[in-house]
Structure 1
Amino acid sequence: MKKIFKITGIVIGALIVLILLAGFIGYSRMSYKASNNYSKLGEKAEKLKVDGHEFRDLNKNGKLDVYEDSRAAIEDRVNDLVSQMSLEEKAGSMFITMIGMTPEGEPMDKPFMTSNPLDIMMTFMMPSSSEMLINRKMNSFNILHAHQANILARYNNNIQLIGEKSRLGIPVTIASDPRHGSEHNPGAALSTPTFSQWPTSLGLAATRDTVLVREFGNIARQEYLATGIRLALHPMADLATEPRWGRSNGTFGEDAQLSAMMTKAYVLGFQGDSLGSTSVACMTKHFSGGGPQADGEDAHFPYGKDQVYPGDNFDYHLIPFEKGAFPAKTAQIMPYYGIPIDQTDENVAFAFNKTIITTMLREKYGFDGVICTDWNIINATKMGDARAWGVEGLSPLERTKKVIDAGCDQFGGESSPELIVELVNSGQLTEARIDQSVKRIMRDKFRLGLFDNPFIDESIANDIAGKESFRKLGKMAQAKGTVLLKNDNLLPLKKGTKIYAEGMNEKELLNAYGELVDTPMEADVIVKRTNTPFEPRDEYFLESFFKQGRLYYSDEEKAEILSLISQKPSVVIVNLERAAVLTEIAAESTALMAEFGLSDEVATDLLFGVKKPEGKLPMELPSSWKAVLDQKEDLPYDSKDPLYSFGYGLTYPTQTISMTTE
């Protein structure tokens, strides 16, 4: 037995040594590659003084070029820059993808000690920062990390310095998905506690307050600017006409006119009346409307590739763009993954579809801004196959050509500029066509002032991001967007009410106005917070982050809620990511609220009348699962006998509020 233990110990020890050795070799190789890449960079840009003005000598030639001259017209600067760019530099500019950073705000080039799954994924499943920035000559990236504001700002400055040291000193555009809510989904939204916290787009729509939405955009703009984020990969102008769709919570609901109003206010808040050095550019998505997914399945996944129009309502989904995004002069547009079935001359996904991109977006609407594809539609990655719906049989090279021929400018989630170089060198694409797209991309960098100064003050980032006045307004919006669906003379609660609570992370906050008790038996009122039901899935990498499938509670889930709230007068607060079937819960509860990103602090204020729920539903709530199945994916408010109709919402009579409002 001792001999077996000894042999086992030797084997385990040998395995540990081999693992450590392999790790050391891998680390050394990555370190060497990074060092070699950085050695290719030039010097920092020196300052040039001309006619009493100071400029950055970005190409290090000792003289002032037109593209370096902030006094010159933007079109002249764009043309001068592009004329100096090599084909490889142009091709690199046409890609934007995820990039990693260390907890210290450094570029991610090699492994480091971490327990964060995102860090591990970015280290081993993505090209290194130096590879993309230097070898592939890319200069647009989206960040996924949610570090403190000063760390994000430091990262901006570090990566901008790399850009400055490149041959032409082209600055980096840093982009981000939404960061101001509580949802964390690497494929759609990033919870960032350092920023002020607001309701989702559904909650903003529930306020019906375009002034508030524009102010949200203005505040988010300031927080983005403080951390170096200059491109918002939002808003979503899609319509949630299909209640099962897992991305409904990123929309402004199912009504096209409401969505148009909200989209316009949102973009104006981020960009201002025109794009400038204090703007954050918006990439509004997903043209021509990504909501009518067949059976509600999301187009991130193969089973959700089809968008269908059984109600012949394609044009309805254009309204938020026609009356919202375009009048607000959105800088950029993103088409979705799906195939608009039988709406054009070929059933291929939007980004590959020339009728959608050129005939409609470019020619009909005259849009001349950047059109960027959604992420990962060209190449398979370690995270899965390419989402090349409708063109699965084409090679990555052929897909790339088809996207450019369709009229798109930039490839999201991809880092393969060598494909564009090959297409031009082989005569399949002209360099003049590439120049069209590169000029659009560079034009936005110039308009945003990145060529003149892409660096930011790290020391003030924490003072701006999450400023108390910003957080206060965010809390007000959370309350204003909460919808009171039912109230049988229970709310607002009286001071001193004994409460038993479930589903609250900070239930002790209830003690500020009431008394938290340990059992339902001791309580005067039961408060239950719950979420929208969904179907857990895990076949594909991102599936666990997308809430899809059923909108009804399972028998087990329903029994748990009903058995609790039937014991005493009860308040149920449901977080609506989609249009849940709440029929049985509504019948049993004494009061029912729908919220769209509500902190326990604000929930407590609402329960006791310190704040009032004022929201109106941005989509109808169906009365049954059958009603959901019978409705048509492209039509708004078409479920039979909805439990609560679009626009429904109660509030507290002013005279009954139990405590002084803030």
Structure 2
Amino acid sequence: MHKTLLTALLLTAPASAQPAPYLDPSLPAERRVADLLGRMTLEEKVGQLAQIDVLRLMGQGEWDRGPLNPEWMENVLARQHVGSLLSGGGNAPVPNTPAAWARMTNDLQRYAIEHSRLKIPILYGVDAVHGHNNVVGATIFPHNLGLGATFDPPLARRIGEVTARALRATGITWNFSPDADLGRDPRWGRFYETWGEDPLLASSMVAENVRGQQGDTLGPNAVAATLKHFAGYGAPIGGKDRADARLTDAELRAVHLPPFQAGLAAGVAAVMVNSGSVNGVPGHASGKLLTDVLRKNLGFTGVTISDWEDVTRLQTVYKVAPTYRDAVRLALTAGVDVSMVPHDARGFTGAVLDLVRAGEVPVSRIDEAAGRVLNLKFRLGLFERPYVDPAGAEAAVTAGRDLALRAARESVTLLATDGRTLPLGKTVKNVLVVGERARDPRSQLGGWTVGWQGLPEGESTRAITVLDGMKAVVPPGTSLAYSPTVPAKPSVDTLVVVVGEPPHAEGEADNPGLALPDTDLALLRAAVATGKPVVAVLLAGRPLVLPENVRTRLAALVMAYLPGSEGGRAIADVLYGNTNPSGRLPFTWPRSATQVPGTYDEPFPGGTPLYPFGYGLSYTTFSYSGLRATGDSITVNVTNIGKVAGAHTVLAFARPAGAASPLKLAAFGRVVLGPGEARNVSLSLPRGLFPAGGAEIRVGALQTTTEQP
């Protein structure tokens, strides 16, 4: 009998050992998804539609940071089958180190797989909007607005690559970035997260950043990128975060959709929904935006995800749903695949199950949404490689400092100069740096740095401040001193006053008057009152309105944006002439808050702006000659007629021949030239730019400002 039993076992073993098709990495993702969906229960499918914040799995209370709590992991991952987790801003492991992140995501992934009947891994998401910015000690790149000032799409791609490797090394597979919103109103608190006001510039930067994060395929060093926030979020009424945007269909198509279209063409894996509303309809309830436009018109096939708790807001804020259950139904029906709940897994999954069982949401919609999530997991290789090695996390997270320094240097924009004071160190021998922001990294790092509202008080991370940077490059034979306030009679040649905005994010960052904080403005007033030359350095995420009796008395005005962890050195290099400034404004700088919203590509309110879109000075001079245009490109000869080397961005603007409409950016490109060097620069033009009758092409600045000190 023993021999008979053994023979039977041997005969049946090969058939039972065959892996299920969904576990076979050689099969196409679509076939694996179909096989896995066919094996899943409704409850398991619904779990894929929920995303829960990691704090709900930590500590003893709802908002505790600390060790993972087995009871909550069981509730969320085992019982509710939740398919993805996230760390909201500041929701990090303890201690907040790269290795701790890797260990935490490994622990969560292991628990999810071991407690999943079908061994389904989780996705883990973060807002890594300027590097792996949630981790203490990480390399922090400039925020997007500063990167927009570089007009350098390959730089955006390289930053995407470095960021993706850092994320993947810590077990993060889903990045809620890049922001594809246009910054059409600088009062808006998320203005600094945009690439500026121009559709072409934003489209170029977004597409390359997506390619950097995802690579050609979503391989082991790539993450799923996310375009946000679809669509029209960057034009809220009054510049107030999450306010309604009033947009015509033509404006939506021509202005706000192009960056999303560019990201979709680059193969982006996910799209996050607009937290506000468009023409009175909340983004998360808009079938027009999420189904008609995004899916049918633009052809998107990836995952759509809500923003933080925005499905709930359909009931509590927008009041378009009488109950939470109705809010979930509206979002699912409109086209939201994954809901960032973020703390009530059972409430969300229970609502979805009830809707399906009541026949109000078809099972096919659940299969569609869950299938998109599973497809992404297969493409990321999570079924084959769910874990990471914590030993490699530190090197990946701290990589890219030279790249961050390069990005910050390229972004710095010189707005005004008297032609004598800068660069420092030639005729200016004794410099006094003034202001707390010069030695506090929080202002140069901005929001979304370790914490949601920026680096928390009392917490530190590695960063080179402006004072650090200036100390590192001060030339021999010159002196450098620091004071938090302006001395009554400073015995120096020049004051460098560092002012700006405190770190902030979203609605807390709204600035209706585009004003400097009172303490910073007082510093500038005191500085110009000394009679000494004053160089003002702005650390800010938007144009700020300076009183004319202060601004016109400055020797120089430098816009440094939010330049990240290497920003202090970059600023110092520009001030001392080690770097020739090449940044150009990616937005229009108004003279007063009464001129907003106002952009260069529409009739500008209240006359001319202070500084036009694309404006930026250099320590050298560039000239153009020999402009030639064909149907798909233009060529222009650029010559550096000055005495120092410099990088220069050639901007080409166009409009239909004979039209009175504003010129719009049609092409741009960077060139680096030594003194006396010339080069032909060829720029590709959008198809169809030359209709019957042709087009007017202009190369160079839109206007020349006379607002010099």
Residue 612 of structure 1 pairs with residue 544 of structure 2: no
- Residue correspondence of structure 1 range 211-610 to structure 2 within 5 A: 211-299=154-242, 304=243, 306-309=244-247, 313-321=251-259, 323-341=261-279, 347-379=280-312, 390-414=318-342, 415=345, 416-467=348-399, 470-489=400-419, 490-494=421-425, 497-501=429-433, 502=435, 503-505=437-439, 506=465, 507=467, 509-512=469-472, 513=474, 514-517=478-481, 518=483, 519=487, 521-532=490-501, 545-553=508-516, 557-567=520-530, 568-582=532-546, 584=548, 585-598=550-563, 599-610=567-578
Q: Supply the distance in 2 between the matched residues of 1:484 and 1:553 (Cα, whole angstroms).
A: 19
Deviations along 1:215-247, one digit per CA (max 9) or x if unpaired, are 111111111111111111011111111121110
- For structure 1, which segment, 547-556 or 322-331, has the greater mean C-alpha deviation from structure 2 after superposition? 547-556
Distance apart, 1:649 and its partner CA:
0.5
Q: Supply the distance in 1 between the matched residues of 2:166 and 2:586 (Cα, whole angstroms).
A: 27
- For structure 1, which segment, 493-502 or 613-622, has the greater mean C-alpha deviation from structure 2 after superposition? 493-502
Distance apart, 1:545 and its partner CA:
4.2
Say which of 63, 70, 76 aligns to 2:31.
76
Mapped contact 2:129–2:143 kept (Cα < 8 A): no
Q: Supply the distance in 1 between the matched residues of 2:156 and 2:106 (Cα, whole angstroms).
A: 30
Deviations along 1:476-505, one digit per CA (max 9) or x if unpaired, are 101101111011121111168322212311
Distance apart, 1:320 and its partner CA:
2.9
Distance 1:424 1:635, change over 3 A: farther
Distance 1:63 1:164, change over 3 A: farther
Distance apart, 1:576 and its partner CA:
2.5
Distance 1:544 1:366, change over 3 A: closer
Q: Supply the distance in 2 between the matched residues of 1:402 and 1:279 (Cα, whole angstroms).
A: 33
Q: Supply the distance in 1 between the matched residues of 2:553 and 2:27 (Cα, whole angstroms).
A: 68
Deviations along 1:601-635, one digit per CA (max 9) or x if unpaired, are 22222211222321110101100122226x48996
Aligned residues: 558
Q: Supply the distance in 2 between the matched residues of 1:544 and 1:211 (Cα, whole angstroms).
A: 31
Distance apart, 1:395 and its partner CA:
0.9
Q: Supply the distance in 2 between the matched residues of 1:656 and 1:389 (Cα, whole angstroms).
A: 56
Distance apart, 1:339 and its partner CA:
1.7
Letter of the structure 1 residue corresponding to residue 39 of structure 2: Q
Q: For residue 150 of structure 1, what is the aligned residue in structure 2?
A: 99
Distance apart, 1:656 and its partner CA:
5.3
Q: For residue 608 of structure 2, what is the aligned residue in structure 1?
A: 641
RMSD of aligned C-alpha atoms?
3.1
SS of the aligned residue for 1:601 comes to: helix
Higher helix share: 1
Distance apart, 1:555 and its partner CA:
6.5
- For structure 1, which segment, 552-561 or 402-411, has the greater mean C-alpha deviation from structure 2 after superposition? 552-561
Q: Supply the distance in 1 between the matched residues of 2:588 and 2:33 (Cα, whole angstroms).
A: 48
SS of the aligned residue for 1:207 comes to: coil
Say which of 65, 72, 95 aligns to 1:119.
65
Distance 1:589 1:530, change over 3 A: same
Mapped contact 2:468–2:568 kept (Cα < 8 A): no
Distance apart, 1:378 and its partner CA:
3.0
Distance 1:632 1:220, change over 3 A: closer
Mapped contact 1:337–1:351 kept (Cα < 8 A): yes
Q: For residue 119 of structure 2, what is the aligned residue in structure 1?
A: 169
Mapped contact 1:484–1:613 kept (Cα < 8 A): yes
TM-score (norm 2): 0.73
Mapped contact 1:566–1:588 kept (Cα < 8 A): no
Identity of aligned residues (%): 29
**Structure 2 unaligned runs (5+)?**
1-12, 440-464, 621-641, 647-709
Q: For residue 628 of structure 1, what is the aligned residue in structure 2?
A: 596
Q: For residue 104 of structure 1, what is the aligned residue in structure 2?
A: none
Q: For residue 703 of structure 2, what is the aligned residue in structure 1?
A: none
Mapped contact 2:203–2:259 kept (Cα < 8 A): yes
